[in-house]
Amino acid sequence: MNRRETERLLEAIRGVRASGERAALATIVRVKGSAYRREGARILVREDGSYECVLSGGCLEPAVAEAAARVILTGTPLTARYDLEDDSVWSLGIGCSGAVDILIERLEWDALDTAWFLLLERGDEAVVLVKPLSGASGRLLVRAHETAGTLGDAALDREAADRARARLQSRFPASGAERIGEAELFFDLSVPPPGLVVFGAGHDATPLAEHAWELGFDVTIVDVRDTFLTTDRFPHASLVSSHFSRFHEAVRLTGRSFVVIMNHHLERDRECLRFALGSEAPYIGVLGPRSRYEKLIRGLKDEGAPLPPGALARVRSPVGLALGAEVPEEIAVSILGEIVAVQRGFDAGFLTGRETGLHRPVESSALARS
């Protein structure tokens, strides 16, 4: 779930808690074959059958809401399998070649729930909620250096915590189920949203910033021109007014920062590229033709700028996917399409004719350079 979707879910949770209404949380815990969403997608189901967020294109939610009504009434969690193709007990006749298992739990507002939702609300920390699907009881909340709760067995708690942290440290962290001895556990991951840092506040940066925010990115716009840095133009972004000589003081780039350089000014672009190459940012997109990028690199080399080994492999130039984009809105789609693909480990090729799983990351030479 991206940040915007999580915010909608949390707002709904606050609403039912404030009203005293009972509700259930439904989470996809296992996917076999093709499905609309992946493990970790959640919806809140209210007592009246209404729900917030989606697990499918709208075809699965009514059946989940019906099952959730029983869970809300009894308080007993349920893991329901929904076959999306066959005419079985749970079949919905959707015709997709897959099945999903959905864990449905009544919200109890205990201390662990409260801590989990608070961490989701903050969104600034990687955390895992471990839930038993079979062979164990309770829950375990795993943070970087501490745990809370228990699965009923100290050895199981230690192994589950180790596996939770290993998931968080993987190249593409993802929620999913694992078996440990006799227990099957679901690891529900929450990681901080990725950051998009755009150097340049020109007119083509506005749709890029807005679409990125809608996709769940924390957006930062950096420019030396104060008149361009207004909340009217960038209502959902952090605005940094800085000359490139002060970037080390004013701009923070991390291993979760995606950088796009689009100043439309050769010197500023060169200095932004110099700064980005010296950071841990995994993706550095440079707007403009390849020949312009090569001029930027020559300028850095002529000045004797140190280029760390492998640093240039993180640069995308020309930036974006080959969509034939022309207007700023299309260019934004092109750039963000590439960023999302790199972020999730996909090659961004056409889906038509693809027989492998649509949600399975592809380790390709193109991704290896990111």
Least confident of 52-66, 123-137, 226-240, 284-298: 52-66
| Per-residue pLDDT at 366 | 38
Q: Mean pLDDT, to the nearest integer, of 260-275? A: 97
- Statement to judge: residues 238 and 364 lie in one domain: yes
| Per-residue pLDDT at 84 | 74
- Statement to judge: residues 228 and 279 lie in one domain: yes
Better pLDDT: 128 or 367: 128
* Interstrand relation of 139-142 and 147-150 (parallel, antiparallel or unpaired): antiparallel
| Per-residue pLDDT at 308 | 76
- Statement to judge: residues 166 and 202 lie in one domain: no
- Statement to judge: residues 159 and 295 lie in one domain: no
- Statement to judge: residues 133 and 181 lie in one domain: yes
Residue with tokens 């693809």: 354
The rounded distance, in Å, linking the Cα atoms of 44 and 146 is 28
Domain final residue, candidates 173, 192, 211: 192
Domain final residue, candidates 84, 107, 130: 107
Q: How does residue 88 score in pLDDT terms, banded at 50, 70 and 90?
A: very low
Domain final residue, candidates 107, 142, 163: 107
Boundaries of domain holding 169? 110-192
- Statement to judge: residues 213 and 154 lie in one domain: no
92, pLDDT greater than 80: no
- Statement to judge: residues 214 and 229 lie in one domain: yes
- Statement to judge: residues 74 and 180 lie in one domain: no
Dihedral sign (CA 29, 100, 216, 313) = positive
- Statement to judge: residues 316 and 168 lie in one domain: no
Q: DSSP for 129-163, please give it.
A: EEEEEES--SEEEE-SS-EEEE-S-HHHHHHHHHH
- Statement to judge: residues 188 and 278 lie in one domain: no
- Statement to judge: residues 309 and 284 lie in one domain: yes
Q: How does residue 306 score in pLDDT terms, banded at 50, 70 and 90?
A: confident
The rounded distance, in Å, linking the Cα atoms of 152 and 183 is 11
Q: Do 81 and 107 form a contact (C-beta atoms < 8 A)?
A: no
Q: What domain count does the chain have?
A: 3
Q: In this predicted model, what pLDDT tens digit does every residue of 318-342 receive, in sequence order? A: 999 999 999 999 999 999 999 999 9
| Per-residue pLDDT at 99 | 87
- Statement to judge: residues 240 and 364 lie in one domain: yes
Q: What is the dihedral of CA 84, 88, 92, 94, to 10 degrees?
A: 40
Q: Mean pLDDT, to the nearest integer, of 19-37? A: 92
In the predicted model, what is the mean pLDDT of the chain?
91
The rounded distance, in Å, linking the Cα atoms of 293 and 273 is 10
* Interstrand relation of 176-180 and 183-190 (parallel, antiparallel or unpaired): antiparallel
